Chains A and B, each alone.
Chain A
């Protein structure tokens, strides 16, 4: 019986290898302006 289902997610440990290009949007710039959240930012690295 399948008791555990795992969603497909970006592996954060793996992203340490080729991440950090800095091209993504600045966290507060888009819509909130009063709170910081990075989870809803899109990755814009063209060399992933």
Chain B
């Protein structure tokens, strides 16, 4: 499957199934588009009719270009056949019931009262609760017991606000570190926090133990404080920004992300990213569209989506400018590793929710991911008895890049791997549905990310 698009002055041709990317001039761009349904002679005639007036386009030379296209097809770099449907389910079948990542909900409570919170202020539509050390320890044991031969295990301390249960977080990290070597495992911890309770102890511990910290900041003060408020209605920006800056400054190059959410109030979200970069000094940035119920005033409208797509282009172009000036910033969704990226098994297998990745509530219940927590019919089991709702696990196991007929002809399916099951569920009522607005934005992001790679190559 071939996807052709023009962006930032580049003609880009993506061969989805081989992963090949070609940057071409307009003549080759048209030749490639004509190639599947036309003979070489027909292509030459059509191209000469359109470009024959140009000095640099001769019949012989067009013929040569058609042959070059043919060569790429033969080399498996263009119009590569989609032969991956058969292996789409095999990786997860081969992995059996291996679990390698947990989202630990150490606190179902929060010290902020953000109206757009998908977790309903950390409570996930249930009771407030903190995870005990015993429950957390059992969760880590469950992970080690069920991780098979996997070495790298990921645990995200999540909430609600995990710093409201900080002592337990520290005890759990200490426990994991005390047993990981003898169990042949390597824990990678992430902390996701709103920042309110960050202090020197949190900074020191997180910088030593957390391979990644995700810091929630929506950008400009007026945007952030509009929704990220405490229970008295006060904005949190002034309180948290200095703490985030101190934490990032002392992280010594270890991973972090400033993680924002944009809503109907700021579809022009690049202003927020640039504020974080230029005014606050952060370089590792992630910004996501809000996830909320239909009809929620924070939700993005169809008009917003068009603005957002433009914003992704603005962001990509500005990031290239920053690269040139030696002041690069990272945007999570524009990180593409063309030579060292994921293998085909990863690309076709889906996100792993409900199989290799699960969320654990403060009470030890298991859910397919953090976004399903609180939905009773999505309870998989618990950390003592394991997965008991095996039918649900099989439903999640069957989610992959080839699970949805709507994706059959989509060029982006080996980049999204079938998309987010939770987004699909919220938009359509089923995890096998398609969240179309999300797809549109995803495709735009990938187009921008690939364009940046093309431009970076061009500038070298």
Contacts and interface: CB of A to CB of B under 8 A. Distances in A.
Interface of A: 1, 3-13, 15-16, 18-20, 22-45
B69 A9 contact: no
Interface stretch (B149-157, B232-240, B299-307, B403-411): B149-157
A21 to B, nearest CB: 8
Interface residues of B, number: 90
Contacts of A25: 101, 152, 154, 188
**Residue among B19, B72, B84 with most chain A CB within 10 A:** B19
Contacts of A5: 22-24, 457
Contact of B28 (A3, A37, A38): A3
B414 A12 contact: yes
Interface string B285-315: 0101101000000000000000000000000
Given A9-B21, A10-B339, A37 B333 contact: yes
A34 B423 contact: yes
Given A36-B419, A40-B333, A40-B337, A30 B190 contact: yes
Interface of B: 17-25, 27-28, 56, 61, 65, 68-69, 72, 76-77, 80, 83-84, 87, 91, 94-95, 98, 100-101, 103, 118, 150-152, 154, 156, 188, 190, 192, 212, 214, 257, 259, 286, 288-289, 291, 332-347, 350-353, 356-357, 369-371, 414-423, 438, 442, 445-446, 449, 453-454, 457
Contacts of B343: 10, 12, 15-16, 18-20, 43, 45
A25 to B, nearest CB: 6
Contact of A26 (B23, B84, B101, B445): B101
A12 B19 contact: yes
A42 B337 contact: yes
Contacts of A33: 192, 214, 259, 288, 370-371
Contacts of A36: 350-351, 416-421, 423
Contacts of A22: 91, 95, 98, 100, 150, 356
B91 A20 contact: yes
Contact of A3 (B27, B288, B416, B457): B27
19 contacts: A4-B24, A4-B28, A6-B21, A13-B18, A20-B94, A22-B150, A24-B342, A25-B152, A25-B188, A29-B103, A31-B286, A36-B423, A38-B415, A39-B446, A40-B332, A40-B334, A42-B340, A42-B341, A43-B341
A44 to B, nearest CB: 7
Contacts of B370: 33
B156 A29 contact: yes
A15 B76 CA distance: 13
B341 A16 contact: no
Contacts of A6: 20-22, 72, 77
Nearest to A39: B415
B79 to A, nearest CB: 13
A38 B352 CA distance: 11
- Nearest first, the 5 closest Cβ-Cβ pairs linking A and B are A19-B343, A20-B345, A15-B343, A3-B28, A26-B101
A35 to B, nearest CB: 5
A48 to B, nearest CB: 8
Contacts of A31: 212, 214, 257, 259, 286, 332
B341 A39 contact: yes
B24 A3 contact: yes
B28 A16 contact: no
Contacts of A13: 17-18, 76, 80, 83, 344
B351 A7 contact: no
B415 A4 contact: no
A38 B351 CA distance: 7
A30 B210 CA distance: 12
A23 B152 contact: yes
